[in-house]
Structure 1
């Protein structure tokens, strides 16, 4: 259960009630389906009291890489540009007029790198969360309900009928069940995740398949995980 994210997911859409065996099975495989797909197109909405950020890009769940373009919302364009990230590092390429979508091949120069912060940055927390939504194996469906995972309601995301479910408590943080929301289709495909970060009052929202997936090419200085 430690592999599941643990953070405040905000208000629900109904429920809660205990997961049925079918719902538990779908929640157990949802991160594995991201991994099996190799990668997914994502739109990450990052909250911010002085204006938010939107990252539009792709995540490679097998090599643990992300790449996309950042645009500010309700703020100036000083943070706009291309972005690449791993579990430990962030790479930024500022652009005064950032495109709607990142070029398939990252520029070969003018990148600036820094460590990915483990706390205090809503952007870095969002990038880290996005990478953790893939796993090379399913979770244990029988243990999910025992550790507090629950069904909250039904919804639609971009025309996809989904169930809204919350994850379990983590092994080292009891009482955290219900803190992450997963919008999961009947085949176990994940279409949305909502998680709060400690540095902001509003949650991070990660939407999948909002645009065409483009395979992630590492930015200069990145060594992919094999």
Structure 2
């Protein structure tokens, strides 16, 4: 289920649906078979691609954090640069993460893009926080947007997934769809404790994922993840660090 894409994290971090106005949504409406099929394969296409370039915008009362980088969906590891907006530079620098650990490399003057080869020193390691951190919740959610198999298209409409509207992103015509409701998810799938539609996907005509928006408990505004905002750069692990998944 698509709920499982974010559910493993959202069960701890997402409590309320942050309604997105989109671009004139007219739904929710029941998914057509074509729409359900595209929603079912969207995470699998990320995995098939090997990795995607993305920009993650994380809201916060102290100002927004923006992570610009790439995720290797087969290696299950992300890497990029963090820059703050409307806040001090204490959180700025390079970042690399897995589902278990976060490595940070503080920088007073962080570059616009992370170097293709991570520095060999100056890194600090910590566990990825499962709750209470909008940044860590966003990192974990981003990692879960890839899957080594398609979801079950037939079960998506039964479990509350719906079509919301249409939009246009960077020249791509997309459909906006909500993920299934955790309350109606089948046994064995993870879900959120919030209502149906807590996650919204902007999906192209071929199933490509272009944007994801999700509410997390530690932020008053939704986290927004945009794909293909820059060229994908293969993720190289930090020298000497052994990624823990």
TM over 0.5: yes
Deviation at 1:175, TM superposition (A): 6.8
Residues 35-74 of structure 1 correspond to what in structure 2 (within 5 A)?
Answer: 35-74=47-86
RMSD: 1.5
* SS of equivalent residue, structure 1 residue 155: strand
TM-score normalised by the chain length of structure 2: 0.88
Report the structure, 1 or 2, having the larger helix content: 2
Deviation at 1:14, TM superposition (A): 2.6
CA deviations on 1:4-58 (whole Å, 9 max, x unpaired) are: 3244352343311000000000000000000000000000000101101000000
Aligned length: 225
Deviation at 1:68, TM superposition (A): 0.2
CA deviations on 1:183-212 (whole Å, 9 max, x unpaired) are: 000000000000011011100000000000
Does the 8 A contact of 1:63 with 1:224 survive in 2? Answer: no
* SS of equivalent residue, structure 1 residue 15: coil
TM-score normalised by the chain length of structure 1: 0.95
Does the 8 A contact of 1:4 with 1:168 survive in 2? Answer: no
Alpha-carbon distance in structure 2 between the residues aligned to 1:222 and 1:43: 25
Structure 1's unaligned 5+ residue stretches are none
Tell me which residue corresponds to 1:181. Answer: 200
Deviation at 1:96, TM superposition (A): 0.9
Does the 8 A contact of 1:35 with 1:136 survive in 2? Answer: yes
Alpha-carbon distance in structure 1 between the residues aligned to 2:92 and 2:5: 31
1:219 lines up with 2:238 in the alignment: yes
Deviation at 1:224, TM superposition (A): 6.7
* SS of equivalent residue, structure 1 residue 41: strand
Equivalent position to 1:129, from 141, 146, 157:
141
Alpha-carbon distance in structure 2 between the residues aligned to 1:219 and 1:14: 46
